[in-house]
Amino acid sequence: MKLMFISDIHGSSYYAKKAIDKFEEEEADYIILLGDILYHGPRNSLPKEYDPKEVIKLVNGLKGKIICVRGNCDAEVDQMVLEFPIMSDYNTVFYNNKRIFVTHGHLFNEQNMPPLVDGDILIHGHTHLPVAKMIDNKYIFNPGSISLPKENNPNSYGIMENDQFIIKDFQGNIIKSIEIK
């Protein structure tokens, strides 16, 4: 199974389209949205081609292929227009006998870890920074932000396949990767 992770669309139809194109190009089985889908948030600038209504159409078109968690910029009103569940603070996915704890990152993160056991994986967004590392026998991944990356990082997404987590930019360059043992 091949999983694609994207975070922090923040209403950018431009980057939502690019992410969907990469989903098709990568031939991933599912997209896992790590929150902050439609609203740009009061601390962020407007992203390129800010158009939440277009983002709604784009992501609803893949509703059967999306697993999603709520970001700090997502609200119940967003759930009214999205055709897949978004209001869970976390979700659990299993991949090659590994438990993946998926969350946005504003509640659970490296500084406030969920209850995990050795070998488990925490995947979150929120910081807009790409991360692929292991701490205390637990994996921590963040695909970065597809629309509003921080600290001069490129717009990025994550792919999990063949026991690897790979963070890529939209040109296909690998930014970070780690083997999942």
How is the chain split into domains, by residue range? 3-89+144-179
* 16 pLDDT more than 90: yes
Which CATH number does the domain 3-89+144-179 belong to among 3.40.50.1000, 3.60.21.10, 3.40.190.10, 3.90.1260.10? 3.60.21.10
* 43 pLDDT more than 90: no
| Summary mean pLDDT of the chain | 96
pTM: 0.96
47-69 pLDDT per residue, tens: 999 999 999 999 999 999 999 99
Tokens of 88: 């869970």
- CA–CA gap between residue 169 and residue 93 (Å, rounded): 24
Q: What is the mean pLDDT of residues 89-114?
A: 95
Give the model's confidence band at 132: pLDDT under 50 very low, under 70 low, under 90 confident, else very high: very high
